[in-house]
C-alpha cells in the first residue's frame, strides 16, 4: 500500500492486492470533517486510513456496490456511510454472495455494514464545497463526488484505463454521465483504479461507448483489453456478462 498526500486536504491510499489493477481509496480533509471515498477490502486495509483521519468527524462514501469499494465499511460502523439508494438495496441482497465469490481478497473483518444515509439525485455539503451526485454508468447505482475547493472530480469506476468495465446495459445513461463530467470545472480527475485522468479521457470513453453501442469493430493491443471488450459487448447485446 502506498500513501500519496496530493495536497493539504487530499490523500490517496493505493492498494495492489487485487490482480490486474490498483485500487485507490481517497480521503478529503476539511476543517471539521473528513470524507473517505470507498473502503476497499476489509477493516485491515482501512487501518492506515483511520490513522490519517485522527479525531475528526468522518463521512464515508461508497461510490457503488462492488465488493472492492465497500468491504471496509465495518471499520466505520460509528460513522455516517453515504451511498445512492440503489447501492444500499443491492448491497443488502448481494453482500454475502460477493464475499463467497471473492473471499480470497478479504483483508480483516468484512461483516455486513450498509450505508446509513442514501440519496437519489444529489446531496450537497455546502460548508465543505462537496457535492455527491448520481452518475449511472459502470453500474446503475454509481455516484461521483466533486470537491469545488480543490476542483477535484472523483468518478468511482466510471472511468478506467486502459479500458472501462461496462456492468450496466444502459449505455445512454453512461454517456450522459460522462457528458455531465465535462460540465464540471475539474482540474483533477481520480477514479477507483486510475489516477490523473483528463477530459480527453472522458471524451475517449464516450467515443468508445458510442462505438460499442454501434457494434463497431475495435482493435486492442493486449489480451486483457480484448477480454474486457468482449465482456462489454456481451453486456450491451445481452444485458449481462
CA 187 to chain centre: 18
Domain ranges of the chain: 2-161+187-197
pLDDT at position 241:
40
Sign of the CA dihedral running 105, 86, 114, 197? positive
What cell was used for 239? 444485458
Q: CA–CA separation, 11 vs 37, rounded Å?
A: 10
The sheet carrying 33-37 orders its strands as 2-5, 10-15, 23-29, 33-37, 57-61, 80-84, 117-119
pLDDT at position 19:
82
pLDDT at position 239:
62
Homologous superfamily (CATH) for 2-161+187-197: Ribonuclease Z/Hydroxyacylglutathione hydrolase-like (3.60.15.10)
Q: Which residues, including other chains, have CB under 8 Å from residue 105's CB and lie 6 or more apart?
A: 17, 18, 41, 67, 68
Contact status, residue 80 vs residue 60, Cβ threshold 8 Å: yes
pTM for this prediction: 0.96
The 10 Å Cβ neighbour count of residue 128 is: 20
Sign of the CA dihedral running 106, 167, 173, 152? positive
Strands 80-84 and 117-119: parallel
DSSP secondary structure, 86-147, as one string:
HHHHHHHHHHHHHHHHHGGG--S-------SEEESSEEEEGGGTEEEEE--SSSTT-EEEEE
Going residue by residue through the chain, which has 241 residues, state the pLDDT in tens, using 9 for 90 and above: 999 999 999 999 999 999 889 999 999 999 989 999 999 999 999 999 999 998 899 999 999 999 999 999 999 999 999 999 999 999 999 999 999 999 999 999 999 999 999 999 999 999 999 999 999 999 999 999 999 999 999 999 999 999 999 999 899 999 999 999 999 999 999 999 999 999 999 999 999 999 999 989 999 999 999 999 999 999 988 765 4
Amino acid at each position: 500500500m502506498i500513501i500519496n498526500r496530493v495536497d493539504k486536504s487530499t490523500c490517496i491510499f493505493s492498494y495492489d492486492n487485487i490482480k490486474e489493477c490498483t485500487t485507490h481509496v481517497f480521503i478529503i480533509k476539511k476543517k471539521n470533517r473528513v470524507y473517505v471515498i470507498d473502503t476497499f477490502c476489509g477493516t485491515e486495509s482501512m487501518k492506515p486510513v483511520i490513522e490519517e483521519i485522527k479525531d475528526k468527524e468522518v463521512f464515508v462514501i461508497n461510490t457503488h456496490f462492488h465488493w472492492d469499494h465497500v468491504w471496509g465499511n465495518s471499520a466505520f460502523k460509528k460513522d455516517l456511510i453515504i451511498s445512492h439508494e440503489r447501492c444500499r438495496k443491492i448491497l443488502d441482497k448481494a453482500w454475502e454472495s460477493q464475499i463467497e465469490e471473492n473471499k480470497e481478497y478479504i483483508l480483516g473483518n468484512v461483516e455486513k455494514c450498509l450505508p446509513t444515509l442514501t440519496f437519489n439525485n444529489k446531496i450537497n455539503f455546502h460548508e465543505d464545497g462537496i457535492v455527491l451526485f448520481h452518475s449511472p454508468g459502470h453500474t446503475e447505482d454509481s455516484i461521483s463526488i466533486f470537491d469545488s475547493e480543490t476542483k477535484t472530480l472523483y468518478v468511482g469506476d466510471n472511468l478506467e484505463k486502459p479500458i472501462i468495465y461496462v456492468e450496466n446495459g444502459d449505455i445512454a445513461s453512461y454517456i450522459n454521465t460522462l457528458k455531465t463530467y465535462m460540465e464540471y470545472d475539474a482540474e483533477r480527475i481520480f477514479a477507483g483504479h486510475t489516477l490523473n485522468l483528463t477530459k480527453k479521457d472522458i471524451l475517449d470513453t464516450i467515443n468508445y461507448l458510442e462505438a460499442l453501442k454501434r457494434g463497431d469493430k475495435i482493435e486492442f493491443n493486449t489480451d486483457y483489453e480484448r477480454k474486457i471488450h468482449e465482456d462489454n459487448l456481451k453486456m450491451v447485446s445481452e444485458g449481462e456478462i
